[in-house]
Amino acid sequence: MQQEIEVIVRFTQDHAEWAVPIVFMLAFAESLVLISLLVPATIMLMGVGGLIGLSQLSFMPLWLAATLGAVLGDWLSFWLGQHYHEPISRMRPFAKRPDLLARGHRFFVKWGVTGVFIGRFFGPLRASVPLAAGACGMSATAFQWANVTSAALWAASLLGPGALGLPTIINYLPK
C-alpha cells in the first residue's frame, strides 16, 4: 500500500494539472460504500495536502474538489441505501444480523444529522453511515446538510495541515 500512496502523491507532484481531478476521485472513492475499503485515499489526500505546503498546489481548488468528491460519494451511498434497502438487507452483514438495520434506524432517530456528521470522521463509518442512513429512511434534506458541512470540514482537515506547512505524509516519503 505504501507504494500506491507514493505513486499517487509523486504523480500529483509531477503533474499539477491533474491534482484537482485526482483529489476529487480520491475523496469520492473514500466516501463511496465498498470502494472506500479498497482505496487508501485518506493518506493519499494528506500527501497531496503536503504538496500544498510545498507551494506547488493551491489550497482552494483542491479543497473544493475534495469536498465535492466526498459529498457526491456519500450522496451516492445514501441513494443506494434508499433505493436498494431490500437487497441490502439480504447482504452481509445485514443478512446474518437483521437487527443491524433496526439498530441503525434507532441510531438515526436518536442522533440524526449529528450522527451523519460525526460518522464522516471515523474511517470504518465514513462510507457505511450514509448507506445506513438511506436504508433507514433518514430525510434527504437532513442528510445533505450533514453531508455537505462535514465534507467541507473533513477536506480541510486532510489538506489543511500541509497548506499550513505542518509535517505531513509527504515529509516521510523517500526522496
pLDDT per position as a tens digit, 79-112: 999 998 778 777 766 677 777 667 667 777 788 8
Which pLDDT does position 53 carry in this prediction?
Answer: 74
CB 100 within 8 A of CB 94: yes
Domain ranges in the chain are 2-164
Exposure of 101 by Cβ count < 10 A (0-12 exposed, 13-18 middle, 19+ buried)?
A: middle
Residue 9's pLDDT band (cuts 50, 70, 90): confident
Among 10, 8, 5, residue whose Cα is nearest residue 175: 10
Tell me the per-residue pLDDT of 121-131, one tens digit each, with 9 for 90 and over.
887 677 788 98
Q: What is the pTM of this model?
A: 0.83
Of 74, 93, 63, 90, the C-alpha closest to 35 is 74
